[in-house]
Structure formats: C-alpha cells, structure tokens
Structure 1
Amino acid sequence: MSFDFTTQSIHAGYDPLANGDAASVPIYSSAAFTMESAERGDALAAGEAKGFSYSRVANPTVDVLEKRIAALEGGDNAVAVASGMAAVSFSLLCAAEGGGRIISPTNLYGASVDAMETFFPQFGVHTDFVKDINDLAEVESKIGPDTRAIFCESVANPSTEITDIAALADLAHRHGVALIVDNTVPTPYLFRPIEFGADVVVHSTTKGITGHGNAIGGVVVDGGHFDWTNGRFPQFTRTELVVSDERNGVWRSFADMFGAEAYIRRVRIKYLRTFGAVASPFNAYLSLVGLETLGPRVGREVATATAVAKYLQTNPHVKAVNYSGIGTTGQDDLVAKYYPKGVGTILSFLMDGDESNVRRILDGAKLFSYVPNIGDARSLIVDPARITHREVPRAYREAAGVTDNLIRLSIGLEEPADLIADLEQAIGGAY
C-alpha cells in the first residue's frame, strides 16, 4: 500500500513486532550489539549481512529515522549523522574526494560557504562559485573534467530565493555530474527534490524536521538513480579493502559490492565510520517525535510566516522583505511549480537607519528569541551578517543581500497577531 505523507511521517520505517511490540520507537542506548555467531559477525563486518554490531556504523533507533526520512523524501536510502554540517560535508566530500570540484552559489548558509571556500581545499576539493545558480549558462561554463557535483539549497537562507531544481538536474545529468540539494528550509513536507531530478538530498534535522530546537542532527538521502560509475567518480570503482575479502583473494569496489547503493554505502562505511560524526539514539528519537507532527506544524508556520511577511511590507521602517512566498523574489513561476503548500518558515527583511536600530529591535523583541537556529516551534530572530553568515566573505554576503541592516525571522507556532504585535513594538521602540 502507498500512504499519504503525514501517515508515513508517523509510521514509515518502523515495525513494532521487531521491537518488543513497542508502539513508540525505542531508544537503543547501546554502544554495541551481540553478533550471535562468529559466522554472522564476519558477514556483518564484511557488509554482506544486514544488522547491527556497533553504533558508530548503525543503530536501531537511528535506522528507523533514516528509513523514515528516506521514505518522506522519496529516496532509496539514507544515513543519519550528528549535525547538518556533517551531512553537507560528508555528502560533498564523498562525491568530490580525490581532487574533484563542486559548483555552488554563494547565497548559502554561512558555514557551508566557509567549508567550501576555505576548508575543503585543504583536502584537495575545490569549489567554483556562481553568482546565480539559476543562470544555467553561468553554471555550465564552470563544468570541467574534474567537476563532480552541483550543490545548492532548494530555498536559500536567508533570502528565500528558489532554485530551479528540474532545470539544474537536467544540466547536471547531461554532463554526468551529480546534483546535491540542501532541503533544510522547506523540509520534505513542502518540497521533495528527488522527484524533480536531484540525486542526493541533505538536511539539518536540527531545524524543521525535529522542529523543537532540542536535538542536533543531519541526514544524507540518496535518490538511488545516479550512475556513480560513469567515469567521473573513481572512488566508487577502485577496489578497497574495507569491502573486499583479502583472505580469499576477492577484491571489490563499492560499485561491485553495492551497485546503485555505492554512494550511500560509502557515506556510511568511509565517512560515518571513519570520521565518527554519529547521530545519538536519543537525538534520533527526538527527531522521530518531531517528524510525527511535521505536516500540520509546518503548514501552520507557513501560514503565519506569510502573515508576518505581509505585515512587514506595511511597516514604514522596513525597506524590503525577502519571502518568495509573497512574490518578493520575482519567482512566482517557480513557487507555483515547486511550492504549492508554501516555501518555508523563514523570511528576512531590511531595515532603514543603521546597525544600532537593528540591535535595538533584536533586544526589544519579547516573543522572538534571539537564537541562531531555524525551524523551531518558537519564533526566532537573528542578524545574519553578525551571526549565521559571519564567516562568509563580505563580497558574497553583500551580493546575497546579507548586510548589517538585515534581520532574519524563523516563524514558530505562536498566534500570528501576537508575533506581529511584538515586531510592531520592537521596531517602534528602535526608532
């Protein structure tokens, strides 16, 4: 049977009969698991048998989260990790390791830009940045023999600009390049990139998926349809000891061993197991609890975000509002195509005056918490240029509109009129 999204968010990936008939997913707080026999232990270590042996590689609670998010994203398989940045880093390095290049816009979350600009090059992985990810000619001009992946956010943070995923996927696939999409802002409730051609989807599950600001986590979801053996990705076709049987002289590559699952298995076996950014069972449990209310929760938050954005357009001290859901980015065609249920719960706005006015607004807000997070049930306020995008080079920040006078909101579940009143008094008091 095929089930509705909301039904899957409650039930997908879990079998009570295999878990002591527990109606709610148990927290398996165990570092390791009995392998039952020497023969089964050998098969587990070789990746030839499914099961659990050590929680740095896989854990039953985390496994349910992985299966549930893969189902909600329409993916084939998933690996949960300790944070959203671990998901971004693992997904990109797994595709580009060994001297590959990535193409990316600069209007991304600050830590993603910093990783690609200053850190990944230390590992031989370089990024070619473009000004506009929807300018296909500009993107195509950056594709070279070493290009492995195009990376983007489905909805950019904090501009809420929308990426034309289907067009970008067509371009990437014509050149044998993978498309990796950070879908954190809309969540799979509002948008599923794999349905429009994306190959890999990543999330900071800390945000809308968990939804209550109480658990850090991330996930990498593989669509299962990209050909990682097309010649651009030698890491998947060279033989490796970790998936081979040295004693019997049987040598395999990840592609030999796992076929279409080569990419996501490499994320787990090489990146999760080696670098160790492991999702804790307790955090996975909190994310599963959050997922159960994802649809109704995000639906209400989107409606409130729309009301708040429309109010801000009427405030005389607000110079501009960035929320593609009300047409401020000039992308109504893409909104209609990809986001019939809304574009997400964040928005940003530009204030007149100077940075001192912004600081008085931040300090004057009563309901909005001054927090560097998004997707919380509480409404949050922050100054991106000073906090979330501080490490982004000035030229990139300013090109994305992230100036000292920009404020970002993440809308929660409070009554819309109360949030608007709080902004009204905070802005009024700042001038």
Structure 2
Amino acid sequence: MSDGPTYGFDTLQIHAGARPDPATGARQTPIYQTTAYVFRDADHAAALFNLQEVGYIYSRLTNPTVAVLQERVATLEGGVGAVCCSSGHAAQIMALFPLMGPGCNVVASTRLYGGTVTQFSQTIKRFGWTAKFVDTDDLDAVKAAIDDDTRAVFCESIANPGGYVTDIRALADVADAAGIPLIVDNTSATPYLCRPIEHGATLVVHSTTKYLTGNGTVTGGCIVDSGKFDWSANDKFPSLSAPEPAYHGLKFHETFGPLAFTFHGIAVGLRDLGMTMNPQAAHYTLMGIETLSLRMQRHVENAEKIAAWLEKDDRVDYVTYAGLPSSPYHDRVKKHYRRGAGALFTFAVKGGYDSCVKLVNALEIFSHVANLGDARSLIIHSASTTHRQLTPEQQEAAGAGPNVVRVSIGIEDADDLIADLDQALSKACA
C-alpha cells in the first residue's frame, strides 16, 4: 500500500504488504513454492549476499509469500519490520538470539505458557543463558532481578493460561531505566486488542499458529521490531552494535538503523538457525488475518458471556477472566485493552483434579487439544498436559493448578457452548 492515508485496522488486515502479482495480476498473494531465485547477474548476487541490496536469495532466508506476512504483521503491530519463522517457540529463541550470550540472563514473568517456562528454565541453559522468573506485577521484584548480565525482560500481554493482563507500560519503564529491551508475547491478545509497541515494548513475538491464523491448520511464529531501541547505547548487544565477522565487519545498527534487529534476524538468525516459515503456512496465516478483527470481536463477546455464566455456577470455585468486573485486572483491561480481555482464561472446578478430567472427557462441542486461538472452542487440563513438566509451585504461579482447566472460547453460538459446559459439569461434579 502507498504511504499516503492512514488506514484503519480492518483495511490493513486485508491489504497491508500485499500488491497484485506483477507477473499475472493475481489479487491474492500467491504461494511462491520455490527454494531459490535466479539472480540477474554475478554482481546482483554479490550485492544480495553482502546485504548491499534487498532481494530474494534462498527460501531459508526470504520468500515473497512470507515477506507479505511479515509486512502485514509489522504494520498491524506498529513496528518497522518483522521476521517470520517456524513456530512460536522458534520466535522466542529468534528474539533472544541477537541479545544473549553465555552468562547472560532474561527476566521473565512467572505467568507464562508452560512450554515457555520449560524452554527458559531448561533448554536455554544449553546456550549458556539463564532465566529469572518473577511476578511482573511486582515491579520492585522485576527491578531487583535485573543485573549487569540481564539482556531483556519477557512477558505475555494476556498470559496463557490464566488470561491475566500485563501492565506493559509499567514494565517498559523498568526495562528502559535498565537500558534493556522489553519483549512481549502478544499471541493471546493479537494487535487487535493490544499493540505492545504503543505501550513501550521493544519487540513483540507471536505464535501465528493461534489467533492470527485462527483455523488450526499451520504452525508459525513472528518477531516484530519496534525500531525504537538504541542498540549502540552500551556494549550489551554486540551482535547488533559491533562488527559482524560474517559480513566483513558490517555493524548492523550503524548500517540499518531502526531495521537493525530485523535484518539481523534474517541475515544471521534464519541463515544459521534455519527456523524458516514455509510459504504455504504464510499463505494460510495471511488468509486468517483478513478476518482477524471480526473473529476477535466474536471471541471476546462469547468469552464475556461464558465467563459470567461460569462465575455464577456453584460447581465452579473461581474464574480468572480479566473481562469480569470482579477481576482485579478489570481496570487494567479498561485502560489498556479497550476492545476486550481476549478469549483465554481458566476456571477451577470443585472436586479438583479428578473432576477436571471428567469435565474434559464429557464435553462434546469443546475440543480437548493442546492449542488455543482456534475458531473452535478448546479446553485442556494444563496441570496434566502443557504444564506437566513444572513443579507444583510453578504450576500454581502460572495459574495452572490441578483443579484448573484452561478454555479458549471460539466463535460458535455462546448458548450452545454454555449448554455443553453445563452438561459436562453435571457429570464431572455428580
């Protein structure tokens, strides 16, 4: 799209990054199912490999279909650029990769998806990195956790599984004071409900598998760069500020300015880690994003109605949905998430672990799957699945105790979903 008018979200989710195919006039972005691209001549090839010219070299690095998705997500998030990759977990590693080094740490929220807690507490140790987990509502604890080796603060905008909403602006102020970036996983909120960059985030990551695609067909991830962080302000980020030996001493921040992180993500991250998004996955996600605002409106409407019904049910101990007036996060939702608190939350079933298992087994419309953000309503007992690797204390901190189930409310008829939950609760609590 041209740089002229400022377009609304509903327009951008359909048109951003996409132009009619110059060869055929095709209106929908084609799936460029190709491995490599023919260079004009030897000088053209050399310029591309030297990062002196932008273009397509090899689909591990760049692909026209994926490029459209990158531009679209970056535009919707208010960033300057984006890098798409193979999954949300890949996006997290890709986000940390230019920032971290042996001995460095990341300060992370205790309220993260269980797989992320495992990745940060166990897997990244193999790189010589560590994570410090703190309650990000306790800003003093966040400040205390940051030391000279801290390279980022990491949180989720709407936390999985509990649906807690984060005060991104407050966290960003803490990170800014320490001279380090704030990374926000915006998977559960999507840029329709929250744009973390507007609240001070440096980087935004997504599992595009979830709401952005919205149909449970493909996995993918994305890292969006705000373009606002000064990577050369100190010596903490040499991958971006110091000479890069693989490119004859090129300094990414000096050369590419606001796009330094994005170029590094492609030219080094995808080149060497190889966490590439395939063009067909990008195509499915582009198709999904075209209806993002419509789906998120329905997701939120349904979640508000179902959470209110559950809260009044005697078979339920509590509901964590931040969109409820009773939630301690309700005022934060009204201030920072004005289109709603999303559609992901947990509720505790009286009868504990056994009743949760019975509930999951008795549901008919809800699908028992390890996913969220689908058009279909989904449920899972986190303590026995996604958060199983965590200690009981970690499970409780993440909002995934043994008496809790997580629901991702879809876009079906809300009354049908309530009826399904009603009959299943009757069986679970008989």
Letter of the 1:124 counterpart: G
The answer on 1:63 being equivalent to 2:61 is no
Letter of the 2:254 counterpart: D
Q: Which residue of 2 aligns with 1:73?
A: 77
Contact 2:77 2:197 survives alignment (8 Å)? yes
Instruction: For residues 145-188 of structure 1, give each alpha carbon's deviation from its aligned partner in whole angstroms, at most 9, with x where no partner exists.
Output: 11110000011111111111111111111111100000000111
Residues 417-428 of structure 1: pairs in structure 2 closer than 5 A: 417-428=415-426
Equivalent of residue 150 in structure 1, options 147, 153, 173: 153
Letter of the 1:181 counterpart: V
Aligned-partner SS, 1:267: helix
Q: Which residue of 2 aligns with 1:271?
A: 269
Letter of the 2:180 counterpart: V
The answer on 1:208 being equivalent to 2:211 is yes
Instruction: For residues 289-337 of structure 1, give each alpha carbon's deviation from its aligned partner in whole angstroms, at most 9, with x where no partner exists.
Output: 0000000111011100111101101211100001001134402221111
Q: Which residue of 1 aligns with 2:177?
A: 174
Instruction: For residues 2-41 of structure 1, give each alpha carbon's deviation from its aligned partner in whole angstroms, at most 9, with x where no partner exists.
Output: 1000100000011115353111010000001111111110
Contact 2:113 2:398 survives alignment (8 Å)? no
For 1:22 and 1:241, locate their aligned partners in 2 and report how far apart those are by CA, in whole Å.
41
For 1:389 and 1:365, locate their aligned partners in 2 and report how far apart those are by CA, in whole Å.
21
For 1:358 and 1:300, locate their aligned partners in 2 and report how far apart those are by CA, in whole Å.
26
Q: Which moved more, 1:276-285 or 1:168-177?
A: 168-177
Contact 2:204 2:224 survives alignment (8 Å)? yes
Equivalent of residue 311 in structure 1, options 289, 309, 312: 309
Q: Which residue of 2 aligns with 1:218?
A: 221
Q: Which residue of 2 aligns with 1:340?
A: 338
Q: Which moved more, 1:267-276 or 1:17-26?
A: 17-26
Q: Which residue of 1 aligns with 2:140?
A: 137
For 1:262 and 1:328, locate their aligned partners in 2 and report how far apart those are by CA, in whole Å.
44
For 1:125 and 1:62, locate their aligned partners in 2 and report how far apart those are by CA, in whole Å.
30
The answer on 1:407 being equivalent to 2:405 is yes
Letter of the 1:394 counterpart: P
For 1:258 and 1:391, locate their aligned partners in 2 and report how far apart those are by CA, in whole Å.
41
For 1:404 and 1:377, locate their aligned partners in 2 and report how far apart those are by CA, in whole Å.
27
For 1:211 and 1:141, locate their aligned partners in 2 and report how far apart those are by CA, in whole Å.
39
Letter of the 2:274 counterpart: G
For 1:17 and 1:367, locate their aligned partners in 2 and report how far apart those are by CA, in whole Å.
41
Contact 1:207 1:213 survives alignment (8 Å)? yes
Contact 1:362 1:370 survives alignment (8 Å)? yes
For 1:19 and 1:283, locate their aligned partners in 2 and report how far apart those are by CA, in whole Å.
22
For 1:328 and 1:265, locate their aligned partners in 2 and report how far apart those are by CA, in whole Å.
45
Contact 1:302 1:345 survives alignment (8 Å)? yes
The answer on 1:243 being equivalent to 2:247 is yes
For 1:261 and 1:98, locate their aligned partners in 2 and report how far apart those are by CA, in whole Å.
25
Q: Which residue of 2 aligns with 1:21?
A: 25
Q: Which residue of 1 aligns with 2:321?
A: 323
Q: Which residue of 1 aligns with 2:232?
A: 229
The CA RMSD measured in Å over matched residues stands at 1.2
For 1:402 and 1:17, locate their aligned partners in 2 and report how far apart those are by CA, in whole Å.
47
For 1:92 and 1:150, locate their aligned partners in 2 and report how far apart those are by CA, in whole Å.
10
Letter of the 1:333 counterpart: D
Contact 2:323 2:340 survives alignment (8 Å)? yes
For 1:63 and 1:277, locate their aligned partners in 2 and report how far apart those are by CA, in whole Å.
15
Equivalent of residue 282 in structure 1, options 277, 280, 283: 280
Change (3 A) 1:389 1:328: farther
Contact 1:321 1:328 survives alignment (8 Å)? no
User: Percent sequence identity over matched residues?
Assistant: 42
Change (3 A) 1:329 1:159: farther
For 2:23 and 2:162, locate their aligned partners in 1 and report how far apart those are by CA, in whole Å.
44
What TM-score do you get using the length of structure 1 for normalisation?
A: 0.96
Residues 111-130 of structure 1: pairs in structure 2 closer than 5 A: 111-130=115-134
Q: Which moved more, 1:351-360 or 1:414-423?
A: 351-360
Aligned-partner SS, 1:325: coil
Equivalent of residue 168 in structure 2, options 165, 168, 178: 165
Contact 1:96 1:125 survives alignment (8 Å)? yes
Contact 1:382 1:409 survives alignment (8 Å)? yes
Contact 1:46 1:242 survives alignment (8 Å)? no
Aligned-partner SS, 2:98: helix
Q: Which moved more, 1:67-76 or 1:159-168?
A: 159-168
Q: Which residue of 2 aligns with 1:10?
A: 14
Q: Displacement, 1:98? A: 3.9
Q: Displacement, 1:217? A: 0.3
Aligned-partner SS, 1:419: helix
Contact 1:19 1:26 survives alignment (8 Å)? no
Q: Displacement, 1:204? A: 0.2
Aligned-partner SS, 1:96: coil
**Between Structure 1 and Structure 2, how many residues are aligned?**
424
Q: Which moved more, 1:264-273 or 1:377-386?
A: 264-273
For 2:86 and 2:23, locate their aligned partners in 1 and report how far apart those are by CA, in whole Å.
24
For 1:20 and 1:97, locate their aligned partners in 2 and report how far apart those are by CA, in whole Å.
46
Moved segments of 4+, more than 4 Å: none
Gaps of 5+ in 2: none
Letter of the 1:336 counterpart: K
